[in-house]
């Protein structure tokens, strides 16, 4: 994508060659100083400097192509860890022309995983945003396929000509999210601003525990999703079994749009059969996947008759399932005399698109491929454009303004009725109503230039604090004053950037429906709503100053660790670094232990705290050390005593901190008029003494039998059937947990709301192609693995203390293939041995 400099001095409608060079400089692309031999990357073409000077671009047309909301897709990649999210993203960037070579996770050469910790560990830690075009925008000369921007048809014209949306370039704002459970907040804040998502499944492991959790989180935001079954080239991969698991575990109707193509039905995975377009794509072994061989159904009958027949079965099942949910497809079907093969691909794509935008249909389009082998990624990109919605097709963003809830577009259009301003109490100073008139509110809304949500804050070593925003209305401009309705203050963002993973391009403005980065904001946090009004320090009137987009939920912390500076002189710098860290990641929390005085850092898991420690020490240069993980515990005392004298509350009116070492102490005293109406017992000093003495006595009495409470976790463990017995025994015996259910015996809390009131999915009605025999009869090397149909889920409640370091132990029990996710359930009473062990640990730490 090119950033068009607004200050171009050229008087014509064309961008001058000097501005092209400025664009190149903005993209931080290195220019070789050797003159004509240097080549600069623009789009997917490579041109010498002389070619650049000889050519110019139409700024109005380019702007129209790249900013039109109908041609924008804000999507995310979600999945379980190691399902192939980053690998798939790297192929998308390569095929779109954004990169010249394919990044590799193992080599540490990926674009989206650019942090040193990500490349060292081979996992995604923080979500990365990147923008590219699909299909590739060919705006520069160099071959015979250059497309004139003025010839690009509108969406309406595409429909008339029977062409899919993927026929013209679209802008894809893609966010690659982490798959590890410790970084679930990164996924949550990304889901909040997405319009669609691609869920990637491991064709060997199927639907895994973290996939279920993320899927149900996306369901809360009603995000349309498509599924890509990856790694079908691996031994034990089972596409058909995975489709069945989508129905049972993700609670939806899988619509098989592609089926895998194996050599002679059993051999190498070589391509996919397309049930929508009635064709097959074969990818040469060892190639980069750019030029697959395409076979029509008639051609395929001569090459692989079994696959041709299976594609027909998939097409029939696809039409039948969609017809149950979409009446317009039924009309198309009847117009074609009930011939499943005669329904056009465009009608099917439009039907899938309509169903995805209606969550009640529970339709889940399923595609197949192997990203590492460069199979099936381009059809997946086409599906993103053809099936997932643009920002204009999403529901009206939810907002609150004052005590009124509604949609942002409804508010701006005047359809949302606000609370009666006259209900506000008059001002004591002026005697006039503090609320503006409806006309004033309408005028203020007319002046609103942009409304955006800050969904991520990053402290960049070179650029300073970067605030990622999703623009929901208007046009956000650089160097504009922004009013933060969450903090009730104004601040200015001097620069506006479009991010390409770790690279950035400065832009003049960003329109609604797009994602951008603002630099220089000192106070904005994750979840804040930013309003752009004209003026230097705009302060919108009531109730517009309370306008807030739906915030981002922050999950509760699970693990705790102490953080100590190396010296007292480093304490200030440590607290400043912790403040920056918490601004970046609100799922981290800092508390002060009242007894020990230690600073405690809490997060979502062991790895989460380990990464936070590395950020503190290596990136923020804090001279501090982090102690071992500690677990939260509560001391619970239940006391029921007969009160003696009424008025004891007054004795404690100064607060428990004033004279007593206890906090939140409440004493209730009652007065028997017949006995205490007269005499010294009813005097204020006597009442105070009685309250203090009674409290001290009660505490001494129960101190020896106080109940210690510890956190208990909801744990979902995915293992193969052969390892299930050992895992159940370990959970119930060695770790003191309680097994609740196996497999689908109990619906998890994440999906409980989604499933409420909906009929169950009848797996018998779900079409899935037959899996190769290798998916069932695995080799001896995979006998202990999770492949095939033997994957089981164990749901249990286990004390958090026993889950510390559990992943390594689980992998030793399951041959390295077991996984689990957990969330806080409640606090429960500790057993006597656990209390003794905890007290011993505390005494040793003193």
317 is an annotated ligand-binding site residue: no
Burial profile 721-740: b = 16 or more Cβ within 10 angstroms, e = fewer: eebbeebbebbeeebbbebe
179 is an annotated ligand-binding site residue: yes
Nearest to 1 by CA among 31, 32, 26, 37: 26
| DSSP H or E segment with residue 710 | strand 707-720
Token pair recorded at residue 812: 């030793």
Report the C-alpha gap between 535 and 531 in whole angstroms: 12
**Residue appearing with tokens 């030029």:** 291
343 in Cβ contact with 352 (< 8 Å): no
647 is an annotated ligand-binding site residue: no
Q: How would you write 265-313 as a 3-class SS string? A: HCCCEEEEEECCCCEEEECCCCCCCCCCEEEEHHHHHHHCHHHHHHHHH
Question: Quick one: angle between helices 209-220 and 184-191, nearest 10?
Answer: 30
429 is an annotated ligand-binding site residue: no
559 in Cβ contact with 605 (< 8 Å): yes
15 is an annotated ligand-binding site residue: no
**HSE on the CB side for 228, CA within 13 Å?**
30
213 is an annotated ligand-binding site residue: no
707 is an annotated ligand-binding site residue: no
Token pair recorded at residue 385: 């454009």
Q: Which residues contact 123 (CB under 8 A, 6 or more apart)?
A: 81, 82, 113, 178, 179, 180
266 in Cβ contact with 273 (< 8 Å): no
Q: What is the DSSP string of 620-631?
A: S---EEEEEEE-
207 in Cβ contact with 755 (< 8 Å): no
Q: Which residues contact 324 (CB under 8 A, 6 or more apart)?
A: none
83 is an annotated ligand-binding site residue: yes
Question: What torsion do the CA atoms of 412, 418, 423, 428 make, to the nearest 10 degrees?
Answer: -30
467 in Cβ contact with 516 (< 8 Å): no
475 in Cβ contact with 450 (< 8 Å): yes
809 is an annotated ligand-binding site residue: no
Q: What is the DSSP string of 567-608?
A: SGGGHHHHHHHHHHHHHH-TT-EEEE-TTT--EEEEESSHHH
54 is an annotated ligand-binding site residue: no
725 is an annotated ligand-binding site residue: no
180 is an annotated ligand-binding site residue: yes
Handedness of CA 345, 346, 347, 351 (dihedral sign): positive
Q: Which residues contact 250 (CB under 8 A, 6 or more apart)?
A: 207, 211, 212, 215, 364
79 is an annotated ligand-binding site residue: yes
Binding-site annotation, residues for GTP: 79-86, 176-180, 230-233
Binding-site annotation, residues: 79-86, 176-180, 230-233
């Amino acid at each position: 994508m090119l950033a068009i400099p607004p200050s171009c001095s050229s008087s014509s409608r064309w961008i001058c060659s000097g501005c092209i060079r400025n664009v190149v400089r903005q993209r931080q692309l290195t220019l070789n100083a050797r003159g004509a031999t240097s080549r600069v990357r623009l789009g997917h073409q490579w041109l010498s400097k002389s070619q650049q000077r000889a050519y110019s671009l139409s700024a109005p047309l380019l702007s129209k192509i790249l900013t039109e909301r109908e041609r924008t897709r804000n999507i995310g990649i979600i999945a379980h860890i190691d399902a192939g999210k980053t690998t798939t993203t790297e192929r998308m960037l390569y095929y779109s022309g954004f990169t010249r070579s394919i990044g590799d996770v193992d080599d540490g050469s990926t674009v989206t995983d650019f942090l040193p910790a990500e490349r060292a560990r081979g996992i995604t830690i923080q979500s990365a945003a990147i923008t590219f075009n699909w299909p590739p925008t060919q705006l520069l000369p160099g071959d015979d396929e250059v497309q004139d921007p003025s010839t690009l048809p509108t969406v309406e014209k595409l429909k008339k000509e029977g062409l899919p949306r993927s026929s013209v370039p679209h802008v894809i704002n893609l966010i690659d999210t982490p798959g590890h459970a410790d970084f679930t907040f990164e996924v949550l804040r990304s889901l909040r601003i997405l319009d669609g998502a691609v869920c990637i499944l491991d064709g060997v492991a199927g639907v895994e525990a973290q996939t279920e959790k993320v899927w149900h989180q996306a369901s809360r935001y009603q995000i349309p999703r498509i599924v890509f079954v990856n790694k079908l080239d691996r031994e034990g991969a089972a596409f058909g079994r995975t489709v069945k698991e989508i129905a049972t575990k993700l609670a939806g109707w899988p619509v098989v749009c592609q089926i895998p193509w194996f050599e002679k039905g059993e051999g190498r995975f070589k391509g996919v059969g397309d049930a929508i377009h009635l064709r097959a794509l074969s990818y040469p072994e060892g190639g980069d996947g750019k030029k697959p061989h395409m076979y029509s159904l008639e051609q395929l009958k001569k090459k692989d008759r079994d696959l041709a027949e299976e594609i027909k079965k998939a097409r029939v099942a696809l039409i039948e399932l969609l017809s149950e949910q979409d009446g317009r497809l039924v009309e198309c079907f009847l117009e074609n005399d009930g011939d499943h093969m005669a329904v056009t691909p465009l009608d099917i794509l439009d039907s899938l698109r309509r169903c995805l935008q209606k969550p009640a249909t529970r339709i889940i389009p399923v595609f197949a491929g192997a990203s590492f082998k460069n199979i099936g990624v381009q059809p997946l990109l086409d599906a993103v454009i053809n099936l997932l919605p643009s920002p204009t097709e999403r529901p009206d963003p939810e907002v609150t303004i004052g005590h009124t809830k509604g949609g942002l577009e409804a508010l701006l259009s005047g359809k949302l009725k606000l609370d009666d301003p006259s209900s506000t109490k008059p001002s004591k100073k002026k005697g006039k109503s503090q609320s503006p008139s409806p006309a004033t509110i309408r005028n203020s809304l007319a002046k609103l230039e942009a409304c955006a949500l800050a969904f991520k804050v990053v402290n960049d070593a070179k650029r300073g604090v970067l605030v990622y925003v999703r623009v929901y209305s208007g046009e956000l401009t650089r160097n504009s004053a922004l009013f933060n309705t969450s903090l009730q203050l104004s601040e200015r963002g001097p620069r506006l950037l479009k991010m390409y993973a770790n690279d950035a391009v400065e832009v003049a403005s960003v329109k609604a429906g797009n994602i951008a980065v603002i630099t220089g904001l000192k106070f904005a946090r994750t979840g804040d709503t930013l309003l752009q009004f004209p003026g230097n320090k705009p302060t919108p009137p009531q109730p517009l100053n309370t306008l807030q987009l739906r915030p981002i939920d922050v999950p509760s912390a699970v693990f705790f660790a102490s953080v100590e500076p190396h010296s007292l002189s480093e304490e200030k710098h440590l607290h400043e670094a912790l403040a920056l860290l918490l601004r970046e990641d609100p799922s981290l929390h800092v508390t002060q232990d009242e007894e020990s005085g230690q600073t405690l850092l809490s997060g979502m898991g062991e790895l989460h705290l380990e990464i936070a420690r590395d950020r503190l020490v290596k990136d923020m240069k804090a001279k501090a050390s982090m102690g071992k993980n500690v677990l939260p515990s509560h001391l619970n005392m239940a006391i029921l005593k007969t009160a003696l004298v009424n008025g004891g509350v007054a004795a404690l009116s100064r607060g428990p901190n004033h004279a007593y070492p206890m906090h939140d102490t409440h004493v209730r005293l009652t007065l028997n008029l017949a006995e205490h109406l007269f005499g010294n017992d009813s005097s204020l000093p006597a009442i105070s003494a009685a309250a203090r003495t009674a409290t001290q006595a009660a505490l001494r009495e129960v101190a020896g039998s106080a109940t210690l409470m510890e956190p208990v976790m909801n744990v979902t463990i995915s293992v193969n059937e052969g390892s299930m017995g050992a895992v159940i025994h370990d959970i119930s015996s060695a770790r003191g947990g309680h097994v609740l259910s196996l497999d689908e015996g109990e619906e998890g809390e994440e999906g409980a709301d989604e499933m409420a009131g909906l009929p169950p999915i009848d797996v018998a009605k779900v079409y899935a192609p037959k899996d190769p025999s290798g998916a069932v009869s695995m080799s001896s090397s995979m006998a202990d693995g999770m492949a095939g149909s033997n994957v089981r889920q164990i749901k249990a409640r286990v004390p958090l203390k026993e889950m510390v370091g559990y992943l390594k132990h689980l992998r030793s029990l399951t041959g390295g293939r077991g996984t689990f996710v957990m969330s806080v359930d409640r606090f429960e009473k500790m057993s006597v041995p656990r209390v003794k062990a905890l007290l011993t640990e505390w005494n040793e730490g003193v």
